[in-house]
Structure 1
Amino acid sequence: MIEIKNLHKGFNGEAVLKGIDARFEQGKTNMIIGASGSGKSVFLKNMLGLFEPDEGEIIYSGESLLDMDIDRKSDLRKEMGMLFQHSALFDSMTVEENIMFPLRMFSRMKLAERRERANEILERVNLVNLNKKMPSEISGGQQKRVALGRAIANNPQYLFCDEPNSGLDPKTATVIDQLIQEITHERNITTVIISHDMNSVMEIGETIVFLKDGLIAWEGSNKEIFKTDNEAVTDFVYSSDLFKKVRIAQNEGF
């Protein structure tokens, strides 16, 4: 679990995060949503320790990030997995080598053990026998699954996903969503997902934090978000014709 208490962060005298309190539950897909400029990325970078808050606390399983010494922060980073927006695979490495990279960096596994682990991961993300392929030789959806495999290679306690469906078609995006949720449940990971994709919110938003202007404007689940009367949320959610139709259908009892 990750707890956020009264988190503030600004740059050049301009406040970006203005006092955020949130809790991200273990074993659930926790989503951070909001319009561009709402503070999502800054929020994530504070949680990852890339930015230091101006005020507030970030607590990992009861332990404050700000109170950790360098060695403990290094250990914590080994417990984190990161799925980047554009996969961020190493172009010069094969699929297998990409997945083994964190194992080589952060574990004492021998080469044979790393390869065995890579094969287990490839089977889990449904990419069997693609070990020797280069990233340029596989599809965007397959690249995203390799990136997810790399993110979970070290059995992290915490998984962070930054716009995991960016650039994917709806069908492939749904596959990635379901895979993230399945892995979260199987491994009891605390998963935090930044997204603007309302299809993802509908599919896997077990807990949702909606940011607006650096503050939490609403919290709930994917079952609750379509029932809220919070104007900021409804403006965001029903900005597309598709979700306007969903709202109308719900109100008409379909």
Structure 2
Amino acid sequence: MIKVNDLHKSFSGEEILKGIDTEFIQGKTNLIIGQSGAGKTVFLKCLLGLILPTDGTIEYDGKAYSTLNKEQQRELRKKMGMVFQGSALFDSMSVAENVMFPLKMFTKQRKEQRMERVREVLDRVDLLKVDNKFPSEISGGMQKRVAIARAIVNKPQYLFCDEPNSGLDPKTAILIDNLIHEITKENNITTVINTHDMNSVLEIGENIVFLKDGRLEWQGDKSIIYKTDNESLTSFVYSSDLFQKVRKAQLQGL
């Protein structure tokens, strides 16, 4: 679990995050949603430890990041996996080499051990057959699965995903959503996903954090997001093409 307590972040006197209190639950897919400029990216970077908050604390299973020394912070980062928006694969490395990279960075395993783990996670994302190919030789959906394999190769306790469906067609995006959800359940990971994709919200939104102007505006799950009386969330949800289709189907079924 990740617990956020009165989190503030300012840049050059401008407050971006304005006192966020929330929790991200272990074993669930936790989604951060909101319009552009709501503070989602800054929030995610704070959760990753890439930037330090101006005030407030972030606790990882009861331990506040701000109280950790450099070595303890490094140990915590080893427990984090990250799926970047553009996959961020190394073009000069094969699929297998990309997935192995965190193992070489953070472990002292023998090459045979690393290869065994790489094969294990590539099998989990159904990519064993392309292990020797380079990123430019596989599809965007495959590249995203490689990024997921790389993110989980070190068996993280926390998995962070920044717009994992960016640039993917709807069918592939659903496959990626389901894969992340399945891996979260299988490994009891605390997964946090920064997204604007309402398909993701409806597919895997077990704990949804809605930000507006740097504040926590609403929190709940996918089963109640259409039933809320929060005007800001309603406006955000209703503006999506997906909602219009769902609402039309609901009306036709009446």
**Fold match by TM threshold 0.5:** yes
- 238-247 vs 167-176, which deviates more? 238-247
Aligned letter for 2:58? I
- 135-144 vs 47-56, which deviates more? 47-56
Aligned letter for 2:199? N
The match for 2:123 is 123
CA contact (8 A) 2:2 2:61 kept: yes
Structure 1 spans left out of the alignment, 5+ residues: none
CA drift at 1:124: 0.1
Look up the SS of the partner of 1:113 in the other structure.
helix
Counterpart-to-counterpart distance in 1, 2:241 and 2:32: 22
Aligned letter for 1:236? F
- 1:30 matched to 2:48? The reply is no
What is the root-mean-square deviation of aligned Cα atoms in Å?
A: 1.1
The match for 2:196 is 196
CA deviations 1:80-129 (Å, max 9, x no partner) are: 00000000000000000000000111111111111111111110001122
The match for 1:111 is 111
CA drift at 1:131: 1.0
The match for 2:238 is 238
Aligned letter for 2:162? D
Look up the SS of the partner of 1:129 in the other structure.
helix
Structure 2 spans left out of the alignment, 5+ residues: none
Tell me the percent identity.
63
CA drift at 1:50: 1.2
Aligned letter for 1:2? I
- 90-99 vs 47-56, which deviates more? 47-56
CA drift at 1:215: 0.4
Counterpart-to-counterpart distance in 2, 1:105 and 1:38: 34
CA contact (8 A) 1:226 1:247 kept: no
The match for 2:91 is 91
Counterpart-to-counterpart distance in 2, 1:120 and 1:246: 38
The match for 2:7 is 7
TM-score normalised by L of structure 2: 0.97
CA contact (8 A) 2:198 2:242 kept: no
TM-score normalised by L of structure 1: 0.97
Counterpart-to-counterpart distance in 2, 1:25 and 1:52: 22
CA drift at 1:65: 0.3
- 125-134 vs 70-79, which deviates more? 125-134
The match for 1:144 is 144
CA contact (8 A) 1:84 1:162 kept: yes
CA contact (8 A) 2:199 2:242 kept: no
Q: 1:100 to 1:33 in 2, by over 3 A?
A: same
Counterpart-to-counterpart distance in 1, 2:253 and 2:226: 13
Counterpart-to-counterpart distance in 2, 1:178 and 1:137: 24
